[in-house]
Amino acid sequence: MPEGSRGFVRDLRLRWACEEAGLSYAVATVPVDDRAINHLDRQPFGQIPCLNDGELEIFESGACLLHLARKSEKLMPRDPVGEADTLQWTIAALNSMAMVTVPWWFLKICGDDDNQLTGWLRQRLDHLEKVLSEREWLAAGRFTVAGQLMADALRISEVRAFSDRPATEAYVVRATERPAFKKARAGQMALFEAGDETGVPPGRPG
Ligand SMILES: N[C@@H](CCC(=O)N[C@@H](CS)C(=O)NCC(=O)O)C(=O)O
């Protein structure tokens, strides 16, 4: 994984949700160079993360979070209104927001500072700024997997620096100051640091 991905690899989403819910978990790495050959049976695009839970195997971080949310009310309320609110904002984070932030960020780090997605990004962030200026959490009036996913889309440093949106920034701070996030992030960073010590980064053969 590239250096800048430290603290952003998406296994962090699963770690974070498990920490919030108090679910025990173990993390395994995937040999990154062979992923197109050895990992496609587990994840059809050769990506991480994937989740194993007993007999069940699941890929896509959003699907993994929704699976975890079914195991713990801390991640999604059980009342139909709260659950529907969580589901709609989960899809909004993955689709309406991340479908703009991720390609915009990618073009930006490739050197295309004022790329054609900039106007689209501005529009999405402006709309969300209005929503977040009126509520503390995105869905169901409390922390949920939806709020977590939106915070994860918004915490990319280039997106945070894009323009002055105080409610959105306060939201990112609120989410990333949660002890569960800090513990999840520390766990991922520790894996990279262990790789620094051995000279074998996570996912590379030792
Ligand atoms: N939509 C997928 C995206 C996963 C993803 O982008 N994973 C990155 C690491 S954070 C990856 O495996 N990249 C390598 C690749 O795409 O080949 C999800 O949310 O699980």
3-state secondary structure 14-75: HHHHHHHHCCCCCCCCCCCCCHHHHCCCCCCCCCCCEEEECCEEEECHHHHHHHHHHHCCCC
- Across-strand partners of 56? 53
Identify the residue whose C-alpha is closest to ligand 1 atom 10.
9
Each of the 206 residues of the chain gets a pLDDT tens digit; together they read 667 789 999 999 999 999 999 999 999 988 877 777 788 889 999 999 999 999 999 999 999 999 999 999 999 999 999 999 999 999 999 999 999 999 999 999 999 888 899 999 999 999 999 999 999 999 999 999 999 999 999 999 999 999 899 999 999 999 999 999 999 999 999 999 988 888 777 776 65
* Residue at 8: amino acid letter: F
pLDDT of residue 80: 98
Structure tokens at 188: 């991922």
Distance (Å, rounded) from C-alpha 61 to C-alpha 159?
A: 20
How far is the centre of ligand 1, averaged over its atoms, from the C-alpha of 49 (Å)?
A: 7
Asked if residues 158 and 110 have their Cβ atoms less than 8 Å apart, the reply is no
Structure tokens at 41: 């049976």
Identify the residue whose C-alpha is closest to ligand 1 atom 11.
47
Closest ligand 1 atom to Cα of 32 = 14
How far is the centre of ligand 1, averaged over its atoms, from the C-alpha of 2 (Å)?
A: 13
Asked if residues 145 and 75 have their Cβ atoms less than 8 Å apart, the reply is yes
How far is the centre of ligand 1, averaged over its atoms, from the C-alpha of 51 (Å)?
A: 13
Assess whether 168 and 101 both reside in one domain. yes
Assess whether 156 and 87 both reside in one domain. yes
Assess whether 32 and 110 both reside in one domain. no
Could you identify the residue written with the tokens 């323009």? Answer: 163
Q: What is the CATH number of the domain that holds 167?
A: 1.20.1050.10
pLDDT of residue 38: 81
How far is the centre of ligand 1, averaged over its atoms, from the C-alpha of 110 (Å)?
A: 18
Exposure string of 44-80, with b = 16+ CB inside 10 Å and e = fewer, is eeebbbbbeeeeeebbbbbebbbbbbeeeebbbbeee
pLDDT of residue 33: 79
Residues of the domain holding 58: 3-73+180-198
36: left (phi over 0), alpha (psi -120 to 50) or beta: alpha
Assess whether 25 and 114 both reside in one domain. no
- Give the side-chain half-sphere CA count within 13 A for 134: 5
Please choose, from the candidates 18, 166, 130, 146, the residue with its C-alpha nearest in 3D space to the C-alpha of residue 84: 146
Closest ligand 1 atom to Cα of 49 = 20
pLDDT of residue 206: 57
Asked if residues 133 and 167 have their Cβ atoms less than 8 Å apart, the reply is yes
Does the residue 36 lie in any domain?
yes
Q: Which residues line ligand 1 (CB under 6 A)?
A: 9-10, 46-48, 60-62
pLDDT of residue 197: 84
Does the residue 66 lie in any domain?
yes
> Could you tell which of 10, 15, 65 is best to mutate to test the pocket of ligand 1, judged by most ligand atoms within 8 Å of the CB?
10
Does the residue 206 lie in any domain?
no
pLDDT of residue 171: 98
How far is the centre of ligand 1, averaged over its atoms, from the C-alpha of 150 (Å)?
A: 17
pLDDT of residue 41: 87
